[in-house]
Homo-oligomer: A and B are copies of this chain.
Amino acid sequence: MFSELHPFMDYALVLAKKAELQGEVPVGAVLVYNDKIILENHNKMRQNNNPLAHAELLLLQEAYSFLKTYYLSQCSLFVTLEPCGMCATAVALSRLKAVYFGAYDPKHGGIEHGARVFDKEQNFFKPKTVVAGVRAYHCENILKNFFSYRRG
């Protein structure tokens, strides 16, 4: 099932690498519409001097400027790391149809950990499809290498 998702996640990994080269925590994300990548972004907390500048939130904000539509219900998000509670709720508020993420994030993740945003019974939209662990090995490795280099 995963094989056809790899090209999108592979491109998100390229963006994560781009983030790393800029000294950012290496997380990349793409927005897919009609089987095509229409927008891309990566973490920019450092360069924007803003702890909210997560790849996914930047991507969604850009989408609202770019697409001129109130909801993004025809779009899917591919992101190399499990979204945090902020980004997962932003995904729900945006009514994305699907989210695919790579590495799990036990510390800050908000889908399979912590806030578990999509598991709540509250009356708001959740993506129909949520797939974890797409290209997980590569997505984790780029983060591990970044932090081990920093700590070394």
Residues of A bordering B, CB below 8 Å = 48-52, 57, 60-61, 64, 68, 70-71, 84-90, 92-95, 106-108, 110, 113-117, 120, 122-124
Contacts and interface: CB of A to CB of B under 8 A. Distances in A.
Chief secondary structure at chain A's binding surface = loop
A60 B92 CA distance: 20
What's the number of copies of this chain in the assembled complex?
2
B120 A114 contact: yes
A121 to B, nearest CB: 8
A114 B70 CA distance: 24
Contacts of A122: 106-108, 113-114
Given A85-B115, A85-B117, A94 B64 contact: no
A50 B61 CA distance: 8
A85 B124 CA distance: 11
A72 to B, nearest CB: 9
Contacts of A110: 85, 89, 115
Contact of A51 (B70, B85, B107, B123): B70
Given A85-B115, A108-B124, A93 B51 contact: yes
